[in-house]
Amino acid sequence: MAKKYQNFINGEWRDSSSHESFENRNPADWDNDLIGTFPSSNVDDVDDAVIAARAAFKKWRLIPAPRRGDVLKVVGDKMLKHKDEIAFEMTREMGKVIAETKGDVQEGIDTAYYAASEGRRLFGFNAPSEMPNKMNLSFRVPIGVGGFITPWNFPMAIPTWKLFPALVCGNTCVFKPAELTPKTATTLVKIIDEAMKEVLGKDYIPGVLNLVHGSGAIVGEAMTSHPEIDFISFTGSSEVGKRINTVAGGDLKRVSLELGGKNAQIVMDDADMELALDAVLWGAFGTTGQRCTATSRLILHKKIHDKFIDKLIKRVDKLKLGYGNNEGVDIGPCVSETQRENVNKYVNIGIEEDKATLVYGGDYAVKGDLSKGWFYKPTIFTNVTQYMRIAQEEIFGPVLSVLQCKDLDDAIAILNGTQYGLSSSIFTKNVNNAFKAVRDIEAGITYVNGATIGAEAHMPFGGVKATGNGHREGGWTVYDFYTEWKAVYIDYSGKLQRAQIDNY
Ligand code: NAP
Ligand code: MG
C-alpha cells in the first residue's frame, strides 16, 4: 500500500478535513511507482494554518534573530547529512537526473548557511539627525504571516530561497508546494521542524511553519485571498503570477513574483565553439529543459551557423534518456503527461510555422523502458525567426529554437525581443562585445562565456519585464522583501524640536 502523507499545521501532522487525496508518482515509471498519497486540502485547512501562523508570529518575532539563524544552521547541517537520500527521492518524484537533484539540495544548504549568518547581520542604517541631541536609527522588522506557493522544477531550492530568509527575519509561514512535488516539501518541513525543536527546546513554538498540500485552484487561491496573510511569495508561470498579483495586490498584500523566461544564448563568430556547445547542451536539455532559466533560444552568428548545428546534432545524439537515478543518464522525463503534451503541442506549432526546420527529435521517446515514463526526445529547430511562437513563448521542455544574427547589435535585439527577461548568455572572446552585451541585454541575469543556467545562492536572482515584479530572491536582496523598515527617532534634548521648522 502507498504511504499516506499529511499536512503539517500548528506543530502537528494532520489529515485534511476534506478526507480527499491525490497521488504522487514517478514520471519515469508512472504505472509501477506510486510514491505516496497526499491530502487534497480545502479552505478550512488553509484557515487553520493561517490561524496557527498568526498566533506563532507573536512569539517567533521576539526570538532573537541570531537564535532564529541558529535554527537555519542546523537545517543546513541536516540537509547536508541526508543530501544523497533526499536527492534520490527528488529524482524519483520529479524526474531530473541525480546530479541535478543533488545540486538542488546543495542550493538549499547554501541558502540555509547564508540565512544562518544573516541572523547576526540583518543590518539597519542610522543617519545623523538634523536636530541637536537627537538620534536617528532604522531597523528591519518582520512583516507577519507569509503565503509561499512554489513550482515543481526546483522542489527543494525554490522553497528554501523563500522560507529560510522569511523565517530568519521573524515571519511565520504557510507553505503550499506544487502537487507534483509534495514529498520533497514534506522532507524539508520535517527537517526545519526537527531543527526548531533541537535549537529552541522548551521555547519551541508550534505554527511557525505550516504545510498545506493541495491544488493551486483551491489551496493557492485561498491563501492569495486570505485576509490574515500579509504577503505572498510565488514562483511559477506568468499566467498564475498575474492572477495572484491581481487578487493579493488588490488587498494591498506585498507580492513577490518569479515567473517565466525565454532565455537565449548568443554565440558570436569569434567564440570558443566547443565551450559554447557544452553550454547549450547543458542549458537547453538539463532538467529536460524544465528550468525557468533554460536556454530555449540559441542565437548563432550566421558565419558559424552551419558548422555549429552540425556539431550540435552530433552531440545531442549522444545524450542518453532514462530514469535519472540510473548511472549514465543525461536527460530524465518531462514531469507529467500534461507537461509532455504541452511540449509536443509546441513542437507541432514549430512544424506548422512555415519556415522553421525540425532538425532533431520532435517526438515522444518510447523505446524500451522509456515507454514507462513521460520521455520526450531532445528537439532542435533551425531557421526560426524572432516572432514565431516557438521563439516567443515559454515551452518548458527539451526544445531549442535556433535563430541567426548578422552582428552583435542584431543578436542583442533578437535576444531582447520577447516579453520576458530572466537569464541570458553570450559567448565571445571580444572584450568590447562582452561588455556591450552586459550593458544592453535586458535580463536579470547575464552570463559571459557561461550557460544561461547556474545561478549561485548568494547572488540576486530574478528577471525584468514579464518575468517578475521587480523583487529578487537570493543573496542580500531577498531580505528587502521579507522585512519592513521601521524608522526610530530618539530625542534626548528635553524639549520639543520641530524638524524642518525650528532649524530653518
Ligand atoms: P504554475 O502552474 O504557475 O504553478 C506554480 C504553483 O502555483 C504551483 O504550486 C501551483 O499549484 C500553484 N497555482 C496554480 N494555480 C494557482 C492559483 N490560481 N492560485 C494560486 N496558486 C496557484 O507553474 P508550474 O507549472 O508549476 O511551473 C512552471 C513555471 O514556473 C514556468 O513558467 C517557469 O518559468 C516558472 N518558474 C519560474 C522561476 C523563476 O524564478 N523565475 C523558477 C522556476 C519556475 P498546483 O500546480 O499544485 O495546482
Ligand atoms: Mg502547473
Cβ atoms of residues 333 and 288 within 8 Å: yes
Q: Which residues contact 244 (CB under 8 A, 6 or more apart)?
A: 149, 220, 224, 232, 234, 255, 257
Q: For the chain, list the domains and their CATH numbers.
A: 48-259+468-487 (3.40.605.10), 263-448 (3.40.309.10)
pLDDT in tens, 416-431: 999 999 999 999 999 9
- Active-site amino acid positions: 258, 292
- pLDDT confidence bin for 1, thresholds 50/70/90: confident
pLDDT band at residue 321 under the 50/70/90 scheme: very high
**Residue 492 β-bridge partners:** none
Largest CA distance in the chain: 85
Residue minimizing CA distance to atom 35 of ligand 1:
236
The average pLDDT across 366-373 equals: 98
Grid cell at residue 316: 545531442
**Each residue of 341-357: pLDDT tens digit?**
999 999 999 999 878 99
- What ligand is nearest to the CA atom of residue 182? 1
Backbone phi and psi for residue 301, each to the nearest 5 degrees, phi listed first: -60, 135
For 314, other C-beta atoms within 10 Å of its C-beta total 10
Q: Does the model's pTM come out above 0.95?
A: yes
Number of the ligand 1 atom closest to the C-alpha atom of 241: 3
Choose which residue among 240, 342, 399 to substitute to test ligand 1 binding: the one with the highest number of ligand atoms within 8 A of its C-beta: 240
d(C-alpha 22, C-alpha 117), whole Å = 38
pLDDT of residue 2: 87
Q: pLDDT digits over 49-105, tens only?
A: 999 999 999 999 999 999 999 999 999 999 999 999 999 999 999 999 999 999 999
pLDDT digits (tens, 9 = 90+) for 254-285: 999 999 999 999 999 999 999 999 999 999 99
Question: Where do the H-state alpha helices sit in 130-181?
Answer: 157-168
Residue 480 makes CB contacts below 8 A (sequence gap 6+) with 471
Which residue ranges have their beta carbon within 6 Å of ligand 1? Answer: 149-154, 176, 178-179, 215-217, 220-221, 224, 235-237, 240, 243-244, 258-261, 292, 394, 396, 422, 467
pLDDT band for position 209 (50/70/90)? Answer: very high
